[in-house]
Structure 1
């Protein structure tokens, strides 16, 4: 029998490896930016077109590469970071496995230009699908320029799995922000389709965070700093009142490398225990510095997960340091407008000593004496004699018929438990049970309605109708609302603006970091606007649907979920009736917008069976 196992060709092996390293354009952005940082660049430019599908280019002023290194960097497992297995536990750089460039070159058109500072000429290399097309000398500036074009050009199936440009662009922005936040001393510039999206000058960590997320980021940050033998923690967490429902602004950096850790996230949430609303998520930007030999960063293909040597101690230190930072914020002096200023010590009396009071005693004072005491010792006034108390009632018995008559309002009893008169008018049409279900009688028995799901269905169809007909009613605000968002959130809102206008929102101004709303839908209160928009952004964080109908459907579902009456809310009898009537007036009253049943029916025969012996 002939052998059936054979070695894969290099270009096939590279394409398979690319499946682990390169999942989307954002993966290319991550690898190229990390290489630029490892090259000790102080100025890095990121240029993309069509969300990275057509072009991803990174230009840096780093060390550059020699002729030999420029060719070897595209070979599998070729790296300058490690020499032996032990080096994996003493890493101080980002890339180290030597698979990124080989994988990228296997599935795209790559053009690299690089030059070292001491060399007169640089190298210009072109590779298409792992095949070297050319390598020539060229006059170039110091540093390296990588241009990755036509991603997945030779794997159409992988290209078909890419999302819309909006979604892919958002993933690219996420990767860019992670690298930029981890290295505030480097100048980063980001261009998309010829437009400058970010221009981040070298700054401190706090300034970099504010520059990336804009808005009111600066006023919500609380510094966190702790230095121990195990770990050094530096960074910022947000004040509790700025917590959001989404988990967008949450960053852990270990030795300047972005990671994801549910264990460390739990430590942060434990520090906020008792001061956050249910479902709220705080923002945090925390950089943990640990000895390289105490962590293993080679457990995940994308290197976003790390194994720690002593997780329990790290958990306790992180939780305590955040609690300490929050405690310092809470005990800081604040303006109290309810304090009575009359009780404050005047400023010009602050250095005065209080005078000791003098005590005078009248040795001749006799409490049983009839004489009036001296005024300087007492102001006591002896009550008048009450011997003639009958005089208080003189005249009350005269003309008794003219005396004032008092009338008392008797409580009228309108019904009785066993009274048969007008029973039909006193019977409730609906009942609320446990502030969750509404029971209404029907001819065959009764119907039990889930109030939250029913209201979701009513609101969903109402919003969808308004967006389809484009005749939504708006209520004008006396004072316009200013809502601040990050750049990525503003990008999403811009894509949703037309649909939001059709639901009843009126946008007065759209800036780079905030929006001004002067009108809102009639069934939305002013205090609910920020909650509705935040929930909408959270629901659509994986991308805005391309078709207008799908977009309207997603917005209607999100707004219905935010505005629907919640379980545990008390409803009056009128509100119960309106909700039940509104549900059965819907086109599809049987299920909520999320395909959950809104009501069940129970027949009289079913009840009879329950009571049958």
Structure 2
């Protein structure tokens, strides 16, 4: 039998390795920015075209590379960061695998220009698909400039799996923000299609956060700082009133490296216990410094997951630190055992005569069921054995003995409780065809049985088809606002809104101005109110960031789904019978009433036979 195992060609092996390191343009941005930081750069510029699909260029003023290093850096497992296995447990740099440039060069056209400060001229290396096209001497500035063009040009299947430019740009900005937040002392500049998105000067941590997320972020931040033998924690958490419905501004950095950790996130959320609304997520920017030998960052190709030697201690210290800062800055309530002086008796009151207690006369022989006549007095106003001293006693009351000869001669009979009052059924539903259950479901009777409708999901389907029809078929109608509304967003969100500006205008939005801090809206669709503008736009941005839906022909579908999700009635909303019937009728008038815009079932039919089987068991 012939042998079937063989070694893969180098170019195929490089493309397979590239699939682990380079998943999308944002992966290239992350690797190149980290290389520039390791080179000791003070200013780093990132240039993009078409969300990185056409061009990703990183320019730094670091120490540069020699002619030999410029050629050798594109070989697999070539690195200056480590020399032996033991170095993996004492890492102080970003990249160390030596796979990034080799993987990038395997799936793109790469041009590298670099020069050291001690050299008169630099080196230019051009590579296409792991093949060196040219290497020559050039005149360049100190540092390194690396341009990655036509990403995935030789793997069209991977290129087709990339999302829209808006989504890919969002991922790039996320990576850019993470690197920029980890190194506030380095200046960062970002240009996309010739437009400047960020220009961050060298500053401290607080100014860097404000520079990325806008000026209004400053008032939200609560400083965090703690020094222990195990770790050092510093950074900021946002005040509870600024918590968000989505997990957005949550950043953990360990030794200046961004990480993702649900375990540490749980510690922070636990510190906010009792301060957050349901389904609200706190924002935080937390920086942890630990001994390099106490963590392992070599467990994932993207190096965003790490393992701690003593993670339980880290959890406890982090939770206690956040909780202490919230109390220290009067964000969280604290127990105060000091005596409240306002509860003391005033000195000028202690010698005054005590106020007398009002006297109440009670008849011990009072019998409410004793009657002297067979008639019933339906106009009796008092039914108590307690006589107020200011009330007028009846004529047969003897003042000298304080007894009653006849009190309340007539007793009004107690009316029996009606059986229908024993059940908590709304009177509106007594004549209606629908019933609302737990303010969440609507039960309606049909010929074959009953149908149970999820009111929120059903309303989402109704609104989705309505919005989609208004956007694509009818000409959108807009209502002008008497006073334009200014809404604050981060620079990346403003860039995203601007990229879909024409689509939003087709739905009825009117944008008066785009500023560095936000947008000014002068008109909105007639189907929404002024108070819903921020909610709708934030929901739309979240859906685009989360790539909902994954396969969308245009932003119209995303917008219709986001609008429907934002404006649909929520669970817990009480509906009148008329509103319930309208919801049922409108649902079954839809083209696809069976599912919500996100694929969830809107109703369930229970045939009479299925109901009978419940009681015939």
Which of 569, 579, 591 matches 2:595?
591
Once the 2 structures are TM-superposed, how far is the Cα of residue 545 of structure 1 from its aligned partner?
7.5
Contact 2:226 / 2:234 at 8 angstroms: preserved in 1? yes
Within 5 Å, give how 1:577-588 maps onto structure 2: 577-588=581-592
Which residue of 1 is the match for residue 377 of structure 2? none
Once the 2 structures are TM-superposed, how far is the Cα of residue 164 of structure 1 from its aligned partner?
2.2
| Change over 3 Å in CA distance of 1:274–1:112 after alignment to 2 | same
Which residue of 1 is the match for residue 498 of structure 2? 494
Within 5 Å, give how 1:191-270 maps onto structure 2: 191-270=191-270
Within 5 Å, give how 1:499-518 maps onto structure 2: 499-518=503-522
Once the 2 structures are TM-superposed, how far is the Cα of residue 50 of structure 1 from its aligned partner?
1.8
Query: How far apart, CA to CA, are the structure 2 residues paired with 1:89 and 1:295?
Result: 8
Within 5 Å, give how 1:331-342 maps onto structure 2: none
Once the 2 structures are TM-superposed, how far is the Cα of residue 449 of structure 1 from its aligned partner?
2.5
| Change over 3 Å in CA distance of 1:126–1:331 after alignment to 2 | closer
Contact 1:455 / 1:564 at 8 angstroms: preserved in 2? yes
Query: How far apart, CA to CA, are the structure 2 residues paired with 1:543 and 1:457?
Result: 20
Query: How far apart, CA to CA, are the structure 2 residues paired with 1:607 and 1:463?
Result: 37
| Change over 3 Å in CA distance of 1:187–1:425 after alignment to 2 | closer
Once the 2 structures are TM-superposed, how far is the Cα of residue 293 of structure 1 from its aligned partner?
0.5
Once the 2 structures are TM-superposed, how far is the Cα of residue 219 of structure 1 from its aligned partner?
1.4
| Change over 3 Å in CA distance of 1:302–1:449 after alignment to 2 | closer
1:552 is the counterpart of 2:556: yes
Contact 2:42 / 2:186 at 8 angstroms: preserved in 1? yes
> Secondary structure of 2:216's match?
coil
Within 5 Å, give how 1:132-211 maps onto structure 2: 132-211=132-211
> Secondary structure of 1:558's match?
helix
Contact 1:449 / 1:598 at 8 angstroms: preserved in 2? yes
Which residue of 1 is the match for residue 109 of structure 2? 109
Which of 423, 429, 432 matches 1:428?
432
- Alignment deviations for residues 394-446 of structure 1 (CA, whole Å, 9 cap, x no partner): xxxxxxxxxxxxxxxxxxxxx997xxxxx999633322222222233344544
* TM-score (norm. length: structure 2): 0.80
* TM-score (norm. length: structure 1): 0.80
1:92 is the counterpart of 2:92: yes
Stretch deviating more after TM superposition (463-472 or 99-108): 463-472
Query: How far apart, CA to CA, are the structure 2 residues paired with 1:477 and 1:276?
Result: 33
Contact 2:197 / 2:495 at 8 angstroms: preserved in 1? no
Which of 515, 527, 534 matches 2:531?
527
Contact 1:215 / 1:486 at 8 angstroms: preserved in 2? no
Once the 2 structures are TM-superposed, how far is the Cα of residue 546 of structure 1 from its aligned partner?
11
Which residue of 1 is the match for residue 6 of structure 2? 6
Once the 2 structures are TM-superposed, how far is the Cα of residue 478 of structure 1 from its aligned partner?
5.0
Once the 2 structures are TM-superposed, how far is the Cα of residue 297 of structure 1 from its aligned partner?
1.0
RMSD between aligned residues = 3.3
Aligned residue pairs, count: 541
| Change over 3 Å in CA distance of 1:426–1:172 after alignment to 2 | closer
Stretch deviating more after TM superposition (469-478 or 205-214): 469-478
Unaligned runs of 5+ in 1: 334-343, 345-354, 363-385, 391-414, 418-422
1:575 is the counterpart of 2:574: no
| Change over 3 Å in CA distance of 1:127–1:141 after alignment to 2 | same
Stretch deviating more after TM superposition (178-187 or 66-75): 66-75
Once the 2 structures are TM-superposed, how far is the Cα of residue 521 of structure 1 from its aligned partner?
4.2
Query: How far apart, CA to CA, are the structure 2 residues paired with 1:356 and 1:584?
Result: 75
> Secondary structure of 2:583's match?
helix
Contact 1:29 / 1:175 at 8 angstroms: preserved in 2? yes
| Change over 3 Å in CA distance of 1:490–1:76 after alignment to 2 | same
Query: How far apart, CA to CA, are the structure 1 residues paired with 2:350 and 2:607?
Result: 87
Contact 1:545 / 1:551 at 8 angstroms: preserved in 2? no
Query: How far apart, CA to CA, are the structure 1 residues paired with 2:352 and 2:22?
Result: 95
> Secondary structure of 2:293's match?
helix
